[in-house]
Amino acid sequence: MNPIDVFDDLRPDTRPLDSAAADRVWAQIVARHPELDEAAALATGPWTDASRLEDVADPIVPGRARRAAWVGAVAAVAVGLVAIASVLNQRSSGQPPTATTPPDATDTATVETAPDGSTTVESDGDDLATATGFILPGFIPDGWKVTELAAGRSVDTWGNPFGATRWAHVVNGTIEKFLSVRPPSPVEPGDDVDADVTVRGFPAEVFTQNTGQIGVMWNESGYRISATATGLTETELVGAMDALVIDLDNQTVSLPDGGASLGLVPEPELGFVDGDIITSKVALGHPGVASDTIFAVATPNTFGLSIDGSLPDVPGWETLDVDGIDMRLLDRSAGQSTSTQLRWIDGDIRYEVHGTVDTDTLVEFARRLTLTDAATFKTAVAALADEETATMMAWAELDRVTFDDGITATVRSQSTGSGANAICIEVPVQQCLEQVSEATLTGSYADNVLGTFNIDGRNLVIGWQSASEAERLGNPIIEPADALAPNDGLGATTTATVDQLVAGTSGRFIEIEVPHGERPPRLSFRSGNTVIFDTGAPPIRSDYEY
């Protein structure tokens, strides 16, 4: 029997989610987010309402009216939230970076040895030092606090984020045509294509994406090349790819006429923005109400979009004049988003502000955002990190180790005392990283924790496992980050090794030094060929992100 059929046949039938189970699960959620209970009750009445169960049984039915009434509950927020926000927000999520810009390379250092044997240390990583476009809040509503600051080089959300070469045709601030070609990458096993068309004499596969883009990919001279386009026909796209000039040595592509025959202009020649502008984000939280948020993202207006040309295609946008700035407002009462949004363009920068507060408060937050420089932003990030670290250092110490290199690490437990809520470096500097409960079930602590620290120019991965987990899992194996490599100059492979594996009092610690130019690896634990547990790769640290 075909193994694929066997796999399909193993698919079990399961009972549907009945009202009792739905209530039980809802109770679990509300226990941790009590604000939802009140909001949901106000909006729709009790969960066991029969009409709502119909939606559970048939999740394909959009249920827009009910969803619109889902005021304040959970959070699909952000119709059109720029993708950079998702990456910047992943600082502690444990998920691999996906679309858009990666976090910055951390502030690295290289040791130069002079002929006389003396050494000097040079910082080579702070490529944001002269960048512009950093935002900080000038107004924080009562009871709120800054919970996140992040900045980095960005690509626009149009097209492919993986270091693609891009062309656009922009008319009156709206992108009419767009072409994105990913840099050639070595063909990997399984990278075969269907022969829908022929490109440059090679079979090529045409695909469409739910964003309305059309794409084509093919293998040539041992390399995979793919392109996506908006506003071009399949014939135009294939024709452009037939003419593509590919430089395999430098991993670059270009069009012989620069795209002019299709009305396209290469991205660097669009000239809409100053190349020093970066993307930055600031988020506020409201202690005790986890679903409340305010955040702002400032990003370069790479394609010279007009404010109306940059808006997500949903109804309900209103025009608002704030101190002479032409803003657009999408009030959450319009039912398109669970937060209220403000958007505007000022100079070369596009701004988005989202919040679960009332419109007046959000406008005040928006109008008092300030632009600042890299040094000031970096200082603010450090202050936030210190503040969060101080909070976590007050939690109970669960385990402690001092590695051979003198670094002292601890894990700390917020309430239960039986698992980790934070992993900290205490010597030579104090830095703590909170461990989110994503890796656990309803318990609020973790038995396996892993964080990346930047200590004296060294990128270190420090981890801890409880004694029972260490016994169950055995020794770790270093594996490369399991993610498509974004164009951040960091290698897709890893040469890191486990430097130290040291027992503590209630578990064991691990230290791994990440070679410069590489991403932090993930750790897997195997029994024979079977992967028993996989940590995922922790995100690389940046002085511009907390």
Residues 66-95 that bind other proteins (CB under 8 A): 66-67, 70, 73-83, 85-86, 89-90, 93-95
Region from 326-334, 343-351, 402-410, 432-440 binding other proteins, contact rule CB under 8 A: 432-440
Q: Shortest distance, CB of residue 35 to other proteins, whole angstroms?
A: 9
Which residues within the stretch 129-168 sit at the binding site for other proteins (CB under 8 A)?
A: 157, 160
Q: Shortest distance, CB of residue 81 to other proteins, whole angstroms?
A: 5
Which residues within the stretch 92-131 sit at the binding site for other proteins (CB under 8 A)?
A: 93-99
Map 465-489 to HEC letters: EEHHHHHHHCCCEEECCCCCCCCCC
From residue 398, how far is each of 93, 409, 418, 448, 535 by CA, in Å? 22, 11, 8, 13, 20
The total of other beta-carbon atoms located within 10 Å of residue 13's CB is 4
Element holding 169 (H helix, E strand): strand 165-171
* Residue whose CB is less far from other proteins, 379 or 524: 524
Which residues within the stretch 16-75 sit at the binding site for other proteins (CB under 8 A)?
A: 16-17, 21-22, 24-26, 28-29, 32-33, 36, 44, 52, 55-59, 61-63, 66-67, 70, 73-75
Q: Shortest distance, CB of residue 345 to other proteins, whole angstroms?
A: 18
Burial degree of 462 (CB within 10 A; 0-12, 13-18, 19+) = buried
Binding residues for other proteins, total number by CB under 8 A: 100
- Which residue type, as a one-letter code, is found at position 132? T
* Residue whose CB is less far from other proteins, 4 or 111: 4
Which residues within the stretch 172-201 sit at the binding site for other proteins (CB under 8 A)?
A: 188-192
Mask: binding to other proteins, 241-280, rule CB under 8 A, as x and -?
----------------------------------------
* Residue pointed to by tokens 């492919």: 160
Q: Which residues fall within 8 angstroms of residue 25, CB to CB, at 6 or more apart?
A: 17
Which residues within the stretch 313-342 sit at the binding site for other proteins (CB under 8 A)?
A: 338
Which residues within the stretch 451-490 sit at the binding site for other proteins (CB under 8 A)?
A: 482, 484
Q: Is 441 an interacting residue with respect to other proteins (CB under 8 A)?
A: yes
Q: Is 237 an interacting residue with respect to other proteins (CB under 8 A)?
A: no
What is the Cα–Cα distance from 472 to 498, expressed in whole angstroms? 19
Beta strands in 403-476 (DSSP E): 408-413, 422-427, 431-434, 448-455, 458-466
CA count, 13 A, side-chain hemisphere, 245: 7
Which residues within the stretch 207-236 sit at the binding site for other proteins (CB under 8 A)?
A: 207, 209-211, 215, 217, 226
What is the Cα–Cα distance from 300 to 348, expressed in whole angstroms? 6
Which residues within the stretch 504-543 sit at the binding site for other proteins (CB under 8 A)?
A: 524, 529-534, 536
- For residues 472, 478, 482 and 483, what is the CA-based torsion angle, rounded to 10 degrees? 140
